[in-house]
Structure 1
Amino acid sequence: MAKKSRVKSRQSAQSSAVAEGGISPRAACPCGSGKRYKACHGAPGGGAVFVARPFEGLPGECDLVALRELVPSATVPLTIKGYDDVPVLLGSLLPLAAPAMARDSGQVWAGLQVQHNYGDVSREVAAVLLDALAKVKAGESGIVGLTAAPGDGPRLQDLVTDDALTITVHEGFDWWIGDVEDKSGMEHALEHANEAAMPTARLSSVEAAYWTDTGTKEHLRWVMPEAEEDLLTALARLHVSGADVIVPGARFVGMFRAHGLLAPVWDLPVGTGAEALEEPAVAFKAALDEALADTSDLTAEVRSARAGLANRQVTIR
């Protein structure tokens, strides 16, 4: 009897943890550390904070998620409060995978594809960005990183004054040396980096949709801002009606979940290219908006499709 009581108590405690935190203690920690939640941010002292949607409230949230997780080479100029006179560039990946750089040119760069794993990507980027800005103001240059959690400092949301972001997707990483006068000796490293960058393009007709060519396949990966449950239902409605095919021959294969948002993914026929997706993406967005507004009861077929879609999600972060 006592053993059963202990088991019941342990199960009840675990259920409470899931209910309160929304994460099973045995599940992978959403911070991306590779550890179980109970051994990472779910452990006593294992993490002061975990922000599931770190870019919420920033202009271009969906694009920032894409640049963090999906896009090889892209840049975004930023205006930082109190530093209007310093050119600031937010990049997908910086040289040497640096968190931030105070450049000899007087520019400041910050990288998104850095895994500090302190629980809040926005605060991590803001911390190295401010350190790099301080270096430039002091007439110094060099790489800046974090060796400890940034604490209660400002987040990007507190620093960025731009109302909208201008995303530039690059074919490679030539922008790494755009502010360098003497480029000698950099050719080999740049060539190696460029070879690893898959061709990628951002659609201009809709927000945060990216075409990419992996060599053997082409994909459309589209980060969407809608709440997960609503988006799953809407996509299920479109799937049942056959309206989830972007272009003839395309196949909706599932979704990434990253930083609190879903990114539906389509396999495309080889040779499709980004330009051919522009008008179909607009039509799909209109159909999706209509499905999101549909409050009618779900049919058995839609429920089944929704369950299938839920099983085709891969969490990145």
Structure 2
Amino acid sequence: MSSRRRSSTATIDPATPVEPPKGGLRAPCPCGSGKRYKQCHGRLRTGTEFVSRPFEGLPRETDWVAFREIVPAATMRTRTTDGTEVTFATVLPVAWPALRRVDGSVFVGVQAADASSDASRDLAAALDAALAAEGPGPVTHLDARTSTARLQDRLDLSVDPVVEVHEGFDFWLDGVLDTDEGSDDPAAALAPQVRASLERANEAVVPTEKLTSADSAYWARIGESTHLRWIISTPEDAFLDALARLHAQRDEAGAPLSTLGEGTRFAGFFRAYGLVVPVWDLAADATAEATEEPLAAFVERFEAALAQTGPLDGEARRARAGLLSRQVTLR
């Protein structure tokens, strides 16, 4: 990712609090430093240092990143250190940070707005607020500055979370609010604000499926394009070296071994929460099921390339330089 230049007009002292920009904590800081607000003056506001890899140490770290960045509608079921079952959803109605349902179950929204510079602490604060609620209802406001706990402190780390990707957000309906007695339509009794949020979310949802050939690999159809995005915990330098070795080699048809077969290409990669996310363009009509076999073959090639420890040859070095230029923007 290209470095940002410091603005020559920046005049705000680093110790002076600055209100967050309209674009949120990830937008450029108004002080003109060129950094994101949460990495700059947002630290003063939230009272925390920026944590670049907030989900490190959690089971399924890569899926936590996927929930934050690329998966529209999904849930992850796990439990707290005291044995309480909890469900983390990518998004909750009206972007609530958390919700205690009428059946007593607790949901936490993973993509809720940041309240500090540590996503793990924000989610732990939302979880604590929902657990402390006396009755059903949403957590609508969150101030993570009052808490120092993180998900790593709150969750049972021996539990392997159960991840489920949904076609839409209808899972919100189960136990969200009581319905009218005798009504055949559970959505009929929802508050207008929640119903409108559900309708908007379902209209905008991107078809997404979790693949089984690799951990945290997600197939998605965005408009007329189809992609595969794979969140991996391999260190970036090792990832680039292994991919460069593959990119410099060709299959029988002359295609780089960094592809997933005919009609595909390695599009690039981006970074998210301290991890690398490679992206492939697939054939427009490629299904998730049809992608499993070529992905499994690529994973085997990739692991073999990772195991090579010698220096890159000339072709691989040139391939690596080209790969560095293929950094894609998620938004």
Query: Would the alpha carbon gap of residues 127 and 315 (structure 1) be closer, same or farther in structure 2, given more than 3 Å must change?
Result: farther
Match of 2:222 in 1: 214
- Distance between the aligned counterparts of 1:279 and 1:269, measured in 2? 15
Q: Are 2:151 and 1:156 equivalent residues in the alignment?
A: yes
Q: Are 2:129 and 1:131 equivalent residues in the alignment?
A: yes
Query: Would the alpha carbon gap of residues 40 and 141 (structure 1) be closer, same or farther in structure 2, given more than 3 Å must change?
Result: closer
How far apart are 1:24 and its partner, in Å? Answer: 6.8
Query: Would the alpha carbon gap of residues 80 and 283 (structure 1) be closer, same or farther in structure 2, given more than 3 Å must change?
Result: same
- Of residues 177, 181, 187, the one that matches 2:173 is 177
Secondary structure at 1:179 match in 2: coil
Q: Is the 8 A contact 1:102 1:142 kept in 2?
A: yes
Q: Is the 8 A contact 1:258 1:316 kept in 2?
A: no
Q: Unpaired segments of 5 or more residues in structure 2?
A: 8-24, 180-185, 250-255
TM-score by length of 1: 0.83
How far apart are 1:55 and its partner, in Å? Answer: 0.5
- Of residues 243, 264, 269, the one that matches 2:257 is 243
- Of residues 314, 317, 321, the one that matches 1:307 is 321
- Distance between the aligned counterparts of 2:111 and 2:65, measured in 1? 10
Q: Is the 8 A contact 1:25 1:42 kept in 2?
A: no
AA matched with 1:123: R
Q: Are 2:294 and 1:293 equivalent residues in the alignment?
A: no
1:277-297 alpha-carbon deviations (Å, 9 max, x no partner): 112111111111111111122
- Distance between the aligned counterparts of 2:327 and 2:316, measured in 1? 17
How far apart are 1:115 and its partner, in Å? Answer: 2.5
Secondary structure at 1:220 match in 2: strand
Q: Unpaired segments of 5 or more residues in structure 1?
A: 1-22
Query: Would the alpha carbon gap of residues 200 and 164 (structure 1) be closer, same or farther in structure 2, given more than 3 Å must change?
Result: same
Q: Are 2:214 and 1:234 equivalent residues in the alignment?
A: no
Secondary structure at 2:162 match in 1: coil
- Distance between the aligned counterparts of 2:318 and 2:153, measured in 1? 43
How far apart are 1:25 and its partner, in Å? Answer: 7.6
- Between 126-135 and 189-198, the greater mean CA deviation after superposition: 189-198
- Distance between the aligned counterparts of 2:238 and 2:119, measured in 1? 25
Query: Would the alpha carbon gap of residues 120 and 211 (structure 1) be closer, same or farther in structure 2, given more than 3 Å must change?
Result: same
1:136-161 alpha-carbon deviations (Å, 9 max, x no partner): xx33533243235244x211111111
Q: Is the 8 A contact 2:26 2:38 kept in 1?
A: no
How far apart are 1:315 and its partner, in Å? Answer: 6.4
- Of residues 17, 25, 34, the one that matches 2:28 is 34
TM-score by length of 2: 0.80
- Distance between the aligned counterparts of 1:170 and 1:150, measured in 2? 34
- Distance between the aligned counterparts of 1:40 and 1:78, measured in 2? 29
How far apart are 1:169 and its partner, in Å? Answer: 0.2
- Of residues 209, 212, 215, the one that matches 1:201 is 209
- Which structure carries more helix by proportion? 1
- Distance between the aligned counterparts of 1:122 and 1:227, measured in 2? 21
Number of residue pairs aligned between Structure 1 and Structure 2 = 287
Match of 1:16 in 2: none
- Of residues 268, 274, 277, the one that matches 1:254 is 268
Q: Is the 8 A contact 2:231 2:277 kept in 1?
A: yes
Match of 2:58 in 1: 58
- Distance between the aligned counterparts of 1:150 and 1:25, measured in 2? 34
- Between 199-208 and 300-309, the greater mean CA deviation after superposition: 300-309
Query: Would the alpha carbon gap of residues 164 and 40 (structure 1) be closer, same or farther in structure 2, given more than 3 Å must change?
Result: closer
1:25-61 alpha-carbon deviations (Å, 9 max, x no partner): 839xxx6243233865345836531110001110111
Percent identity over the alignment is 42
Secondary structure at 1:218 match in 2: strand
Q: Is the 8 A contact 1:32 1:117 kept in 2?
A: no
Match of 1:114 in 2: 112
How far apart are 1:215 and its partner, in Å? Answer: 2.2
Q: Is the 8 A contact 1:126 1:159 kept in 2?
A: yes
Query: Would the alpha carbon gap of residues 179 and 126 (structure 1) be closer, same or farther in structure 2, given more than 3 Å must change?
Result: same
Query: Would the alpha carbon gap of residues 307 and 149 (structure 1) be closer, same or farther in structure 2, given more than 3 Å must change?
Result: farther
Q: Is the 8 A contact 2:75 2:89 kept in 1?
A: yes
Q: Is the 8 A contact 1:41 1:48 kept in 2?
A: no
How far apart are 1:126 and its partner, in Å? Answer: 0.3
